[in-house]
Structures are given as structure tokens and as C-alpha cells.
A and B are shown apart, each in its own frame.
Chain A
Amino acid sequence: MNAKILLVDDETALIRSLQPVLTAQGYSVEAAGTAAEALKKAKDTVFDIILLDLGLPDADGKEIISKLLSFNPVSILILSARHQEAEKVAALDQGADDFVNKPFNIEELLARIRAAVRRLRNEAVKSQEFHSGQLSIDFRKRKVVLMDQEIKFSPKEFDLLEILARHAGQVVTHRQLLLAGWNDPNVDTQYLRSYMALIRQKLEYDSSQPEYLLTEPGVGYRLDIESEH
């Protein structure tokens, strides 16, 4: 535990609200108000997670993502406005892991941070299995068990479910899903929507009101289940 977080936002009021709560959660938190300050701190210290606001005064947040990633392996979470889908997609393409829409609830932010921390740890293990409550997935045997019942998934459905499960709790972009399912990012997202509908029918209680496989409008999908690892 005790992950290190760098909070990058030019709004001091937000930093003042977040810092005590994150600290109380056991994270060690540092803050930066500008891109230059963020780059300097990320160079000197190894952070696990960077919370990055895209609207920084001295640079576009997107532009510093690859630089931040070049220093040390780190998980970047974007703080942005809901309507900036294009910005979010661009930031995720640059290598950011996830995003949180402003304004957000602290629980939402903490859940995203937990998912990011878990993914950081999981990647080290290269887990072959996914377990969460009633859902278990065996990636090697390509087996899905929901409420003690095995559910048949077509190969493509399974490929899509696998990438979502490996990023459990985090957003997976259309592009990432298309690459995983079709090995081609330029495939019509209409196919993707059809497959997501099929997966929802198998996973969700009511596929028109999904609880686990959520749509992130304009960006991608999120499997909102916390894995038990």
C-alpha cells in the first residue's frame, strides 16, 4: 500500500480539498500547480499515480503525458470536464490510464485511484485469472464463470471481455477495444457496440441498465468491477 500520488492542478482550492483526504487514506501526496513543477517533481521522485488536470496554465496537460511516463512507470489519471471527449481520448492515446470527470465525488476519485494502484501491482504478477464477487475469468483456459455457472463466450467476445477485465475499474478506449477484437483500430465502432450489447446480455441482469459494463460516452467502456487481488 502507501502509494505515492502527485496531484497536478492549478486550482489551489481543489488541492486543498483533496490533499487531506488522500493523506487520510494512507497515500503520500505531493502537489504541483504547473506543468513545469509537475515535470520537475516527477523527475526527482518516483510516483505511482499522477492526477493530472488538462488545463494547466503553462502547457497543455496532454503534451506532458509522454514526458511524465518517460521518467518512471506511473499510472496517469486525467482530471477533466465531461464534454471534453476528444481531449480525454487524446490523453488516453498518449498513455494516460484513466480519467475522472470534474466535478467528481471523492468516492469516485478514490475508486479510480484504487483501480490504478491494483493495475500497477497486477501487471507485475501478469495474472492469468480474474476474480471478483460472482465473476471469475480464466484467461488461459478462456473460461467465464458467473454465479457458479459457466457462460459461453465467442472468441471475439472473450477477447473484448479480457481486455476490459485486465483493466477492471478503468476505462478502455474504443481504439484499444478494436485492436483487441479486430486487430485494426479503424473498424466501424458499430461492430463494437453490437459486441458490447452481446456481452451485456450475458453479464448484466438488465442489459439496458448495465451495472458492470458501463459506457463512457465518446471515449470507450469500463468494466466497473473491482477484482479481488
Chain B
Amino acid sequence: MITKIKNAVKSKKETDTQTVLQAFNVRKSFGSRANVQQVLKGIDLRVEKGEFVGIMGASGAGKTTLLNVLATIDRATEGSILISGADISKMKDAQLSAFRRDKLGFIFQDYNLLDTLTVKENILLPVSLGKMKKKVAEAEFRSIADILGITELADKYPYEISGGQKQRTSAARALINQPSMVFADEPTGALDSKAASSLLGTLADVNEKRGVTIMMVTHDPLASSYCSRVVFLKDGNIYSELYKGDKTRQAFFQEILKVQAVLGGDSIDAL
């Protein structure tokens, strides 16, 4: 039995917040004509400035596909996506590249640091084409490295530091170009629980202090409890949304678990 509780818990404040991302009826299918598989079946989504949005769902629900499409790494088959007012679904590849470089930040599950670069060099990569003045970049690096607690590691190579430190480096790299939005794909997937919560705490901190908008894909309810809103996907559709509001993290975590249990129950029903 499938029960849709879409928009059930919606408590969005209709105030003067600024919209960073808007997606209308986004569809994505893979495969050729003979064997088309629709992964996203018409997603509408709106992210306000300063939000920390978590995206959850079972494997195959389309989390990563949605993130890739929103993050301009992959193209939607249908629908339009606006980031900071710019319609990315109409951009050419070269424009998309430039857009990603200037406006977006990325954190990957397996860090994706360049082995041959030091921590600092890795972090400064997104501004390495020289559009940001060296002085500004240096100051920006200092303040971000300070927040993330990796100032001491600046001259170390990735192989010399721990997984948690690598992910902090990756996060710093995502923030250096002062992006409109940061996309994180399972950032805690490869970390132990202690490193994971430490990183999430820092991300929430950055989100709060610097007002950075973050969208994070995760399958871990604990990770998503750090978010201000969690969107649940099921079979390519938005299944439900939860807002943290003024709840404690613990309470929010319990709520997330409940929705996940329903989602999980569904998949058992379907069998």
C-alpha cells in the first residue's frame, strides 16, 4: 500500500527569503528508445538562500541523479532548473562548466582530491584560473581553513592525512569560490561515525555562520538530522519533506527515522 504524505509536514515560512534554486518538473531518463528507464519523474523543488537541504531515499530512488542534474553535471531530459536566476537547462556545455566553476561547490563521497597537490593547492584549485586576486584568495583560504580546522595541514599531501581531514579539505575546496550553492554527495559515506559527525557539525556551522546554501545527498538519517530540511525521494518522485524548524536535532532525527520506516515498509510491501 502506498500512502502519499506529500507536503504533509510543510511549514515553510513565506517571508522575504531569496530563492537560490528552483526546479520545475525535472525528468531524467536513461537508455535508448527500446529500453528507457525513467529515473526522475517530474521533480519540483525550491531551495532558499541559507538552507541546508538533505536528500534521502533508498538506493535507486534517484538521489544522486537528482543531485547531478541540479548540479549541472548531468542534463535533465525535461524540465527547467534555475540557479540564482540563471536557467541552466538552456546553457551550452562550455557555459555550464564556467557556471559550475564560478557559482557552485562540490563535496564528493571519496573526496576526489588530486594526489599530486598539497591540501592548500587542492583547496585553491577552483580559483586557479586566476579570476580571484591572489590576496583575496589567500584571505579566503585562511578564513575557511580556520573554520574547518585544517590550517595546520596546508602543506601536507592527501596521502598524509586522515579520511576526515581529506573530507574537510574537499569541503574547503567547495567553499573557496564563495559559491551560491554547495552540492555534497554522500560526504560522510567513507568516514567513521566520529569523523562523520564532526564534519557534519562543521558543515552546519558553515551553513549558519557564512550563510552558505548546501544540498546534501545521504542515506544516513543521522547525517540528514543536521539539515534544516530533508526531502525524501521514492521511485523518482518527491515522497515527502521534513522541516527541522525549532526542533532539537534529536527530535528531528526521530522524525526522519519514522518517514524512513514508512519508506522502507513500502519497499517491503512492494515485494
- Chain A bound to chain B: no
| Residues in A lying within 8 Å of B, measured CB to CB | none
